[in-house]
Amino acid sequence: MKNARQTTKNFVLAAMFMALGLVLPFLTGQIQQIGNMLLPMHLPVLVCGLICGWQYGAVVGFVLPLLRFVLFGMPPIYPMGISMAFELAAYGFLAGWLYSHSRWQCIISLYRCLIAAMVGGRLVWGAVRVLLSGVAGQAFTWEMFLSGALLTAVPGIILQLTLIPALMLALDRTGLVKFRRAEPKEKIA
């Protein structure tokens, strides 16, 4: 019964994170340059992976940009929407998987997992963009990768590295999502 309750809770939370991912880009005023800087869809995907688990984070991450395109026409589906779907799926997967497999779940491991997920997601984004550019017969240069994955995203990276740990710390203090420590192994005498 407890497992069914947890699954239902995760489905509801994943739906909430999906809704947040659909709505948060409206805070940037649908201005693509501001959205590229603040990365509003990344926040709920990362938090979903951390709270609900890697399976939910990966699905929410993959579906979110595609659903947002169907509903609102943004982001443009090719090549941005497709590459974002794989990027966000990697964020949700990596954040959730790494965090759930951490020996301790604390702020330090949270930062490690977030940074690893951000690097991995950006590498996936770059690989998908290279593949899509090759199919279209266009060039995707190293400069384009650095600009899209790092330089324009610095404000969003800072936002993610400050807001997500603060949210997780608040959830820990309220008892909704608890940090945990690894149980000590028994000593053999």
The residue to which tokens 């969003």 are assigned: 156
32 occurs within a structural domain:
no
Question: How many structural domains is the chain composed of?
Answer: 1
151 occurs within a structural domain:
yes
pLDDT digits (tens, 9 = 90+) for 42-97: 999 999 999 999 999 999 999 999 999 999 998 889 888 999 999 999 999 999 99
Radius of gyration over every alpha carbon of the chain, rounded to an integer in angstroms: 17
SS (H, E, C) 137-161: CCCCCHHHHHHHHHHCCHHHHHHHH
187 occurs within a structural domain:
no
> What's the full length of the chain, in residues?
189
In angstroms, rounded to a whole number, what is the distance separating the alpha carbons of residues 21 and 70?
14
Q: Tell me the residue range of the domain where 83 lies.
A: 40-174
In angstroms, rounded to a whole number, what is the distance separating the alpha carbons of residues 38 and 28?
8
Alpha-carbon dihedral 166, 171, 173, 178, rounded to 10 degrees: -120
66 occurs within a structural domain:
yes
102 occurs within a structural domain:
yes
The CATH number of residue 93's host domain is 1.10.1760.20
In angstroms, rounded to a whole number, what is the distance separating the alpha carbons of residues 22 and 1?
32
Res 9: pLDDT? 93
Instruction: Give me the residues of the chain with pLDDT under 70, please.
Output: 1, 29-33, 35-36, 136-137, 141-142, 145-149, 181-189
133 occurs within a structural domain:
yes
14 occurs within a structural domain:
no
Res 126: pLDDT? 85
In angstroms, rounded to a whole number, what is the distance separating the alpha carbons of residues 21 and 57?
12
Res 108: pLDDT? 92
The residue to which tokens 């997780």 are assigned: 168
19 occurs within a structural domain:
no
